Every structure is written in C-alpha cells, then in structure tokens.
Amino acid sequence: MSSIQQIEGGGEFVAYADPHGPSRNKAAAQAPQASAFEDWRRMLSAVEADVLLVTAPQYLHCEITLAGLEAGLDIYCEKPMAATLADCDAIVSAVSDSNSLFYVGLQLRTVPVFRHAKQLVDSGAVGTPRMLFCRELRAPFIPKVDNWIADESKSGGALVEKNVHHFDLFNWYCGGRASRVQAIGGKALTPEQGSNPGDLIDHAFVLIDYDNGARACLEMCFFCPPFAHELEIIGDNGRRLVTDLEQLKLWDPEHETRRHDVWHYSLAQAHGDRTGWLDFLDCRTSGSHAGASTGRAETGRDSVRVALAAQQSIKTGAAVSVDPHDEHENAT
C-alpha cells in the first residue's frame, strides 16, 4: 500500500478487505481515508472503484479475481497467479471473456536491469538464447498470517510461491514454452535451524527443456542469507549476458582480453512493487490492454505450470512432460 501511495498519480485506496484484525490496522495506518471490510465480497458490493488489487494468499486469487472481473474492475493480481493449474485455467478463461485489464505481478520483468537484458536479447546480442541459468540464495520465508505458506494446498509449495518469478524470466528471455522439467530438491534443515516452515523444501536444482531448443537451470537455496540473485544467458553466438541485479555484463568471446560491456544499476531500482505498479498504470493509461490481458494471464499460468512440474518431479524422481496447451502433466 505505502509503495503505491508514494507514487504521484498512482491512485488512492478507497477500501480494503482483510479478515485479520492486525492486518486491517496496518492498512488503516497506511490508508486512513479507505473503508475497512472483513469480507472482500462485502467490499466489492459496497464500494465504487476502478481497480482491484488481489493481495490475499494465492489459494484465494482465483475466486477473488473472477468476482472482480465480474464487477468490471481492472485487476492487479499478485504472483503466483494461483496455487493450482485448475485455478490458473479458470483465470485465463475469465480474463479472455472480460473487457477488464488483467495484470499479474511477475514484476521481475519490470525491474530495469532485467528489462535491459531482455532488450539486449531481443536485439540479438547473444544470438538465439540457448542456455539460461538463475541462482537465488536467500533466507527462508518469513512467517505469514495463519502460516498459510506452510500449507502446500494453499501456497502451492516453495517453488510456486517464490520461483514463478524466475521461471517467468526464463520463459520470457528464451521465447519458448517449457516442454519437460526435471528437478531434485528437498529439505536440508529444520525450521528451527533456519529452513522454510512446515514441510516446504529449502533447496532445489530445476532443469527445463523448451520447445525451441533452449535449456534452463534454476539453483535455489532458502537457507543462505544474505540475498544473492544471479542470472546468465548464453546464446548460439557464444556470447554471455550476466546480471547480479547491480550490474549487467555482456561478454564478447572474440576478445582475448575478455572484454565486456558493463552497465551499472542500483539495488534500489530492483524494487519490483514500484516498477510493477508503474507498468500496470502504464497499461491502463495506454489502453494497450485489449487482448494483452489474456496473454498476461497465460504468462502467469505458464510460470505456475513450470513450478508445479518441478515440485512434482522432486516428489516422484521422474522428469515431467509439460504441454502448455494440455491440462495434464505426465511423468515420463
């Protein structure tokens, strides 16, 4: 709320709904002008607004989003778009039947350093992307209201909750659709030792095959603060793009001196809440959302699909075939 309200012309909150008293108190402190509701259904029927922000846990995203679309509101839905594929499919279908703008908060796409990397990729700087790597090292999840995150039926699991961001970047950069996912992972520590809550895994290696020949690898560790976030793309011209959030490097293999171009960024620019909201506002004002909303919903679904396939692979030990147009994954 506060990061949105700090944006000039970013909009004003007229109401919020949350069944949890302390969360409502927090919202009241940040948006004293807004009306408070315990039940989002009552809020939707009582309040006139333009935009609905869906910031409840992901097991509720589908139900709330569908009601918001029905009410004719533009929707900013937090990532992950939903915790299950069935919910993702229901959102895609409802968005395609609606005239509202739909936006899913996969905001790494709006962070300047990752946007710049996309521009370089699209301009042919690495040729055709063939290998993509991402490594995130971080602290375990912080406690959530009612600990919903520890319940996989509500959060979708650790890779759904966190790594849809990275699977989305892979999908975006390589321009293909995931066709097969193989992963290993598990829980190295207990929550008391600094792991994720409940049974949520705390480390994983995820390998993805794309239908256009690209391959991607995610390395994830939840018990290694402080934060590190590294991304690398190698294309068929042998060039390499590397970013660690604070700098973007483009290596040129033809120079024996290992020459590279480098661009610097500040970590403050990596604040996805702000850049994501600005992008959402831009979509609203440019009026370019007609048709694009369904594409955004499909993008949200594709990132969840890879995350769910990776978790399935970790559980079964088998590779998982993924067809973005198919309802069902098959272990192979």
Ligand X SMILES: NC(=O)c1ccc[n+]([C@@H]2O[C@H](COP(=O)([O-])OP(=O)(O)OC[C@H]3O[C@@H](n4cnc5c(N)ncnc54)[C@H](O)[C@@H]3O)[C@@H](O)[C@H]2O)c1
Min. distance of Cβ 39 from ligand X in angstroms?
A: 7
DSSP label of 278:
H
3-state secondary structure 138-177: CCCCCCCHHHHHHCHHHHCCHHHHHHHHHHHHHHHHHCCC
- Cβ contacts of residue 82 below 8 Å, gap of 6+? 58, 59, 61, 62, 88, 90, 91, 156, 300, 304
- Binding status of residue 209 toward ligand X by CB under 6 A: no
Among positions 58, 100, 182, 303, the unique one binding ligand X when judged by CB under 6 A:
58
* Residue whose CB is less far from ligand X, 176 or 300: 300
* Residue whose CB is less far from ligand X, 61 or 289: 61
- Binding status of residue 107 toward ligand X by CB under 6 A: yes
* Residue whose CB is less far from ligand X, 141 or 210: 141
Min. distance of Cβ 280 from ligand X in angstroms?
A: 12
Nearest to 230 by CA among 132, 311, 307, 141: 132
In degrees, rounded to 5, the angle at the alpha carbon of residue 329 between the alpha carbons of residues 327 and 332 is: 155
Among positions 74, 151, 161, 209, the unique one binding ligand X when judged by CB under 6 A:
161
Rounded-to-integer distance, Cα 203 and Cα 222, Å: 6
Kindly indicate which of the ranges 5-13, 19-27, 204-212, 261-269 contains the residues binding ligand X, using the contact rule CB under 6 A: 19-27
* Residue whose CB is less far from ligand X, 265 or 277: 277
DSSP label of 124:
T
Min. distance of Cβ 211 from ligand X in angstroms?
A: 27
Contact 31, 16 (CB under 8 A): yes
* Residue whose CB is less far from ligand X, 16 or 265: 16
- Binding status of residue 21 toward ligand X by CB under 6 A: no
- Binding status of residue 129 toward ligand X by CB under 6 A: no
Among positions 30, 55, 96, 128, the unique one binding ligand X when judged by CB under 6 A:
55
* Residue whose CB is less far from ligand X, 162 or 289: 162
* Residue whose CB is less far from ligand X, 240 or 305: 305
Among positions 145, 228, 318, 331, the unique one binding ligand X when judged by CB under 6 A:
145
Query: Distances from the Cα of 29 to the Cαs of 24, 44, 145, in angstroms?
Result: 9, 21, 18
DSSP label of 14:
-
- Cβ contacts of residue 255 below 8 Å, gap of 6+? none
Among positions 2, 7, 19, 247, the unique one binding ligand X when judged by CB under 6 A:
19
- Binding status of residue 301 toward ligand X by CB under 6 A: no
Nearest to 313 by CA among 198, 205, 166, 152: 205
Under the rule (CB under 6 A), what is the footprint of ligand X?
17-20, 23, 40, 55-58, 60, 78-79, 105, 107, 144-145, 161, 272
